[in-house]
């Protein structure tokens, strides 16, 4: 039976990122695109035509229609953040498994409503953070866990920025308080926080402190900000996210014996060519440095990948959904927990900005 | 006359870095090593023998003897920071031009005593920050000033760390409050602050805020810390310096249209092979990124160099000294001013740590 090996996806909204997900769903071996809905049938039909979706894909003139389709198992929700709680809760109530674009909610309180709805209805929840599903990420974790080469993790810095220009800053939904009210913090800061938590094995920091000088628009939406994060045992991290500068996807993990760096952590440079790289340095000869020679130079690790990371994400989510549908497992709580921890830190950074850059304790 | 084309250097102390400077002085076309002094004649003699200094180099059993040598024009002072004010002031009083290792002093107040002595005695002052003299640095400044490719500078992050191990942390002079009381902030943070100020065209930040969680030893010497820096017009920077992790010499300069990155800013990877590189990215095609292809990839700029940066520093300092000696110019105030600005920010970071991570305004 096709239903047992394939998850039938519905997509709520014809956002730009929906194009990527349509492709990813078509490429994932355990997923198929069943339906797409927009607020207008015209828009949904035009989207289907423009992106040559298969004729079998059902095109709806409302999000509700997608949720009412009994042959939709799971939904991908790329709607503006301010609409997440409404539509994710409705989707769960319709027993649709939920793949929710990041940032998952405007606050942890909203996310908790979503997670409660998912739990109550026995559906799997996962957020749309793609890079964690790339095989490179698992290889990086191996490198960070190598006590001989990397030692103990002490410091992380991440910088994720892009410059979408003045038109975006004026009119984009990511600049509207009621739609994507978290701005750059939600859009790119989310990835920084997630990378930091990922490396820290998802141990929450005890506190965060935003840097003075965050830039907000007149609606209070964050255009640019930075923050540090602090752990009980002395580990620290910092990150910078912004809509005002050239594109960066940087992260540096620094241990007592080694260092791991990426400039493309959220989207591998060479992904479409079937591989991804990261740079790891260790066991440096200090004497040679003083002679003006770095020895050894950092290693470039190359990780081959069968799929791009969006496909891996869909596949991993669909695997869980299939197991839940066949009653093999209950919905996994690990994924919602990672989303929740990320949102918890994000909320704390926002609070620190609102409180004049005071430290904010993290209470989970 | 040899005296008119060659500066005769004396070195105060047989520190490890004195080896590097002996070599640099011997390679610089306008410098010669005249004398080296240590607190004991045995130590100075052993140093001269071990590093096969020319027989003409005068070896003294005190620092004072170097200063009393009328054929010494300029001194390089690599003594522990706590001794700088005493010996730099004495050197200036003896009309020796002063090349002073960084951090230049324990505080701006001490530095001001040194600078006043230099000015009163008409001698040139320069600190020992080598990387600013490398031809790569001038090329980087060109790249940062390119409005078309780089745009306006918005954000800088620098990380400079190394892990000298437990023996160092226990016994090194860099861990003693009365010798190198600024610890990692003075040793590696100095470079971060300098790189940030250099990129900001030495415009001082209006404030700095150290991150919570700085690590100090029982004498109060900084082992690891981090700080952000803030400018009136919204530009920001942050840095991390530490004696607890693997070696990093990282800096990222982020502009509205481009990005410039180095992982070897204080000591170019390939310096001994006659060149240095830096990576610059601009004009990215966002559409291609979304397809999983970065286009164009960052450019690697290669800058050839006739000398290593230590030689460039000696040469640049000696050029000024020769011009001052021949009364062609007065001692240049630009170099002492850069040292002073760096020390001013360093002092503010230290004060922020001491005041429980409160913001500290910079008053020049």
pLDDT of residue B283: 82
**Is A145 an 8 Å CB contact of chain B?**
no
- Segment among A4-13, A274-283, B212-221 with least mean pLDDT: A274-283
Beta bridge partners of B241: B160, B225
pLDDT of residue A2: 44
Q: Please give, rounded to a whole number of angstroms, the shortest distance from the CA of B90 to a CA of chain A.
A: 30
Which residues have C-beta within 8 Å of that of residue B226, sequence separation ≥ 6?
A155, A228, A236, A238, B210, B211, B214, B238, B239, B240, B241
Name the residue of chain A whose CA is nearest to B270's CA: A293
CB-based contact B245 A154, cutoff 8 Å: yes
Average pLDDT over residues B149-161: 97
Which residues have C-beta within 8 Å of that of residue B333, sequence separation ≥ 6?
none
Which residues of chain A are within 8 Å of residue B215 when distances are taken between CB atoms?
234
Q: ω into residue B103 within 30 of 0, thus cis?
A: yes
Average pLDDT over residues A94-110: 98
Mutate which: A167, A172, A213, vs B, most B CBs within 10 A: A213
Dist. CA A181–CA A176, nearest whole Å: 6
Place B2 in a pLDDT band, splitting at 50, 70 and 90: very low
CB-based contact B294 A163, cutoff 8 Å: no
Residue A354 pLDDT exceeds 50:
yes
Taking the CB of residue B86, how many other CB atoms lie within 10 A of it? 14
Q: Please give, rounded to a whole number of angstroms, the shortest distance from the CA of B324 to a CA of chain A.
A: 32
Q: Which of residues 183-212 of A touch B (CB under 8 A)?
A: 207, 209, 211-212
* B285 vs B341, residue with greater confidence: B341
| DSSP code at position B348 | H
Nearest to B264 by CA among A280, A251, A294, A237: A294
Under DSSP, is residue B185 helix (H, G, I), strand (E, B) or coil? helix
Q: Please give, rounded to a whole number of angstroms, the shortest distance from the CA of A120 to a CA of chain B.
A: 36
Question: Is-contact B98 B124, C-beta < 8 A?
Answer: yes
CA atoms within 13 A on the CB side of B40: 4
Record the tokens describing residue B90, joined without a space: 């004495």
CB-based contact B246 A155, cutoff 8 Å: no
Provide the percentage of residues in chain B whose pLDDT is more than 70.
98
Active-site option among B27, B43, B96, B102:
B102
DSSP codes, B235-280: -EEEEEEESSS--EEEEEEEESSEEEEESBTTS-TTGGGTEEEEEE
Which residues of chain B are within 8 Å of residue A168 when distances are taken between CB atoms?
none
Mutate which: B21, B143, B152, B155, vs A, most A CBs within 10 A: B155
**Is B240 an 8 Å CB contact of chain A?**
yes
Record the tokens describing residue A328, joined without a space: 């093999």
Residue A202 pLDDT exceeds 70:
yes
Average pLDDT over residues A130-149: 96
Which residues of chain B are within 8 Å of residue A263 when distances are taken between CB atoms?
261, 298
Nearest to B347 by CA among B334, B333, B360, B336: B360
Taking the CB of residue B5, how many other CB atoms lie within 10 A of it? 10
Average pLDDT over residues A166-172: 90
Question: Is-contact A229 A205, C-beta < 8 A?
Answer: yes
Q: Please give, rounded to a whole number of angstroms, the shortest distance from the CA of B307 to a CA of chain A.
A: 11
∠ CA(B104), CA(B105), CA(B106), 5° rounding? Answer: 145
Q: Which of residues 330-359 of B touch A (CB under 8 A)?
A: 357, 359
Residue B221 pLDDT exceeds 50:
yes
Which residues of chain A are within 8 Å of residue B210 when distances are taken between CB atoms?
none
Taking the CB of residue A63, how many other CB atoms lie within 10 A of it? 23
CB-based contact A292 B234, cutoff 8 Å: no
Q: ω into residue B296 within 30 of 0, thus cis?
A: yes
Mutate which: A232, A237, A245, vs B, most B CBs within 10 A: A245
Which residues of chain A are within 8 Å of residue B143 when distances are taken between CB atoms?
none
* B71 vs B295, residue with greater confidence: B71
Helices (H), B70-212: 84-93, 108-120, 135-144, 166-171, 177-180, 183-184, 190-199
pLDDT of residue B292: 67
Average pLDDT over residues A227-242: 97
* B286 vs B74, residue with greater confidence: B74
Strands B360-361, B207-210: pairing kind = antiparallel
For residue B37, give Cα distances in angstroms to A3, A300, B76.
85, 46, 11
CB-based contact A246 B259, cutoff 8 Å: yes
DSSP codes, A21-49: HHHHHHHSTTEEEEEEE-SSHHHHHHHHH
**Is B295 an 8 Å CB contact of chain A?**
no
pLDDT of residue A292: 67
pLDDT of residue B191: 98
pLDDT of residue B273: 85
Mutate which: B207, B228, B281, vs A, most A CBs within 10 A: B228
**Mean pLDDT taken over chain B:** 94
Q: Please give, rounded to a whole number of angstroms, the shortest distance from the CA of B254 to a CA of chain A.
A: 7
Name the residue of chain B whose CA is nearest to A279's CA: B263
Dist. CA B185–CA B349, nearest whole Å: 9
Q: Which residues of B314-350 are buried (b: 16+ CB within 10 A; e: fewer)?
A: bbbbbbbbbebbeeeeebeeebbebbbbbbbbbbbbb
Helices (H), chain A: 2-5, 16-27, 41-50, 63-68, 84-93, 108-120, 135-144, 166-171, 177-180, 183-184, 190-199, 286-290, 309-325, 334-354
pLDDT of residue A114: 98
**Is A23 an 8 Å CB contact of chain B?**
no
Token pair 């423009």: residue:
A50
Which residues have C-beta within 8 Å of that of residue B242, sequence separation ≥ 6?
A154, A155, B161, B162, B184, B188, B215, B223, B224, B225
Residue A32 pLDDT exceeds 90:
yes
Beta bridge partners of A156: A237, A253
**Is A256 an 8 Å CB contact of chain B?**
yes
Dist. CA A326–CA B13, nearest whole Å: 77
CB-based contact B267 A259, cutoff 8 Å: no
Dist. CA B205–CA B342, nearest whole Å: 11
For residue A249, give Cα distances in angstroms to A195, A262, B179, B239, B285.
11, 8, 41, 18, 15
CB-based contact B226 A230, cutoff 8 Å: no
- Segment among A38-52, A305-319, B260-274 with least mean pLDDT: B260-274
Which residues of chain A are within 8 Å of residue B245 when distances are taken between CB atoms?
154-155, 254-256, 259
pLDDT of residue A274: 87
Residues in chain A, how many?
Answer: 364
Digit-coded pLDDT (tens) for B53-70: 999 999 999 999 999 999
Dist. CA B324–CA B32, nearest whole Å: 17
By Cβ distance, the residue of A151, A211, A286 closest to B236 is A211
| DSSP code at position A264 | B
CA atoms within 13 A on the CB side of A46: 9
pLDDT of residue A200: 98
Residues in chain B, how many?
Answer: 364
CB-based contact A259 B242, cutoff 8 Å: no
Which residues of chain B are within 8 Å of residue A248 when distances are taken between CB atoms?
252, 254, 259
Q: Which of residues 25-44 of A touch B (CB under 8 A)?
A: none
- Maximum Cα–Cα distance across chain A: 70
Record the tokens describing residue A300, joined without a space: 């470039």
CB-based contact B267 A289, cutoff 8 Å: yes
Dist. CA A24–CA A310, nearest whole Å: 6
Q: ω into residue A103 within 30 of 0, thus cis?
A: yes
Digit-coded pLDDT (tens) for B117-135: 999 999 999 999 999 999 9
Asked if the ipTM is above 0.90, the reply is yes
Under DSSP, is residue B92 helix (H, G, I), strand (E, B) or coil? helix
Which residues of chain B are within 8 Å of residue A78 when distances are taken between CB atoms?
none
Which residues have C-beta within 8 Å of that of residue A238, sequence separation ≥ 6?
A156, A157, A158, A226, A227, A228, A229, B157, B211, B226, B228, B238, B240
By Cβ distance, the residue of A213, A245, A286 closest to B254 is A245
User: Kind and range of the H or E element at B174?
Assistant: none
By Cβ distance, the residue of A282, A284, A290 closest to B20 is A290
Average pLDDT over residues A339-348: 98
Dist. CA A86–CA A75, nearest whole Å: 14
- Segment among A177-181, A259-263, A308-312, B23-27 with least mean pLDDT: A177-181
Catalytic site includes residue B102: yes
Q: Long-range contacts for B60-65 (Cβ within 8 Å, ≥24 apart)?
A: B60/B35, B60/B36, B61/B37, B62/B37, B62/B38, B63/B12, B63/B13, B63/B37, B63/B38, B63/B39, B63/B87, B63/B90, B64/B37, B64/B90, B65/B35, B65/B37
What phi and psi values does residue B255 have, to the nearest 5 degrees? -115, 180
Record the tokens describing residue A312, joined without a space: 């891996």
**Mean pLDDT taken over chain A:** 94
Active-site option among A96, A102, A315, A325:
A102
Average pLDDT over residues A23-44: 97
pLDDT of residue B286: 72
CB-based contact A246 B254, cutoff 8 Å: yes
CB-based contact B250 A252, cutoff 8 Å: yes
């Amino acid at each position: 039976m096709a239903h047992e090996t394939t998850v039938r996806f519905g997509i709520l909204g014809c956002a730009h990122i929906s194009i990527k997900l349509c492709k990813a769903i078509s490429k994932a071996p355990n997923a198929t695109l069943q339906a797409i809905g927009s607020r207008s049938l015209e828009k949904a039909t035009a989207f289907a035509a423009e992106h040559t979706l298969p004729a079998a894909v059902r095109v709806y003139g409302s999000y509700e229609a997608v949720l009412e389709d009994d042959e939709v198992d799971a939904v991908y929700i790329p709607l503006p953040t301010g609409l997440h709680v409404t539509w994710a809760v409705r989707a769960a109530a319709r027993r649709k498994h939920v793949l929710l674009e990041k940032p998952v909610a405007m606050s942890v309180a909203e996310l908790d409503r979503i997670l409660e709805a998912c739990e109550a209805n026995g559906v799997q929840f996962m957020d749309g953070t793609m890079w964690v599903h790339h095989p490179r990420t698992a290889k990086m974790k191996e490198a960070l866990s190598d006590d001989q080469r990397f030692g103990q993790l002490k410091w992380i810095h991440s910088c994720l920025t892009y410059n979408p220009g003045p038109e975006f800053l004026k009119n984009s939904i990511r600049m509207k308080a009621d739609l994507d009210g978290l701005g750059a913090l939600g859009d790119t800061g989310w990835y920084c926080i997630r990378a930091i938590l990922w490396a820290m094995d998802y141990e929450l920091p005890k506190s965060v402190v935003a840097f003075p000088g965050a830039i907000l628009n007149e609606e209070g939406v964050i255009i640019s900000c930075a923050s540090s994060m602090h752990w009980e045992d002395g580990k620290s991290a910092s990150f910078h996210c912004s809509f005002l500068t050239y594109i960066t996807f940087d992260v540096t993990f620094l241990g007592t014996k080694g260092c791991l760096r990426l400039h493309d952590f959220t989207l591998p440079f060479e992904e479409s060519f079937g591989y991804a790289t990261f740079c790891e340095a260790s066991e440096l000869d200090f004497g040679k440095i003083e002679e003006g020679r770095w020895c050894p130079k950092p290693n470039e690790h190359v990780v081959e990948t069968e799929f791009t990371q969006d496909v891996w994400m869909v596949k991993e989510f669909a695997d869980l959904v299939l197991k839940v549908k066949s009653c093999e497992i209950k919905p996994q709580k690990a994924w919602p927990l990672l989303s929740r921890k990320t949102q918890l830190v994000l909320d704390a950074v926002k609070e620190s900005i609102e409180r004049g850059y005071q430290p904010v304790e993290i209470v989970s």
